[in-house]
Structures are given as structure tokens and as C-alpha cells.
Amino acid sequence: MNLTVDVQENEGKSVVLLAGEIDAYTAPKLKETLLSLTEKEGNKVEVNLEQVNYMDSTGLGVFVSGLKSTKENNSELKLVQLQDRVYRLFEITGLIDVIDVDKTVQGGY
């Protein structure tokens, strides 16, 4: 019932590695970290959700505020490697058409 947030600077982009659960308790920490990255002018932010096994609408809200922040700061936000259950929430809410979400597992050709 916790979330670890790891940030790595990698080839000109910020990679956020998440592991655990995103809910009302863990979302504030994630939001703080995410916004600190998207607020850097022109920054490319990639969030890896491979190890996120639970997320609810508070998590969706964090990524919506991240997206808004990219528009204000000319930065980019991309979500990658989502588990099926988490991906489904983006589908149900229609956010899939608004946020750049790439479900495919890296190297999984």
C-alpha cells in the first residue's frame, strides 16, 4: 500500500519509475515529483508504470495536472508500460485520447 517514485535522467529525458499503488494516500507525493519535472521548460518526461499494480481516479487526476503543466511549460509527458488494469481506467474515462499513453512493454517484440 505504498508507492516508490524514482527519477532518472536518461538521454535528455526524465524517466520516472513508479512501483506500488497510486491512491489518495500516495498521489500527493507523485504529483509533487511529476510537476517539478514537467515545469522544466522543454523537458521530456516519461513515466514508467510497469510496477504499478493499482491506480484509481486520484492517479488519473495527477496525470491530468501533469498534462496541463506540459502545455504551460512546453514540456512533454508520456506514460509507458501500463498494466492492463491501469490502462483500462484511461480507456473508460476517455483519457486515452488526451494523454500520450503507450501500453507496450519495452523490448517485448
Q: How far is the CB of 45 from other proteins (least distance, A)?
A: 16
Give the CA distances from residue 2 to residues 19, 23, 24, 84, in Å, rounded to whole numbers and listed in that order.
Answer: 8, 9, 11, 20
Q: How far is the CB of 97 from other proteins (least distance, A)?
A: 4
Q: How far is the CB of 21 from other proteins (least distance, A)?
A: 7
Nearer to other proteins (CB atom), residue 53 or residue 104: 53
Applying CB under 8 A, the residues found at the interface with other proteins are: 1, 21, 23-25, 54, 56-58, 60-61, 64-65, 67-68, 71, 85, 89, 92-95, 97-98
Give the CA distances from residue 96 to residues 11, 32, 38, 89, in Å, rounded to whole numbers and listed in that order.
Answer: 26, 23, 19, 9
Q: Are 45 and 76 in contact (CB under 8 A)?
A: yes
Nearer to other proteins (CB atom), residue 6 or residue 85: 85
Give residue for cell 515529483: 33
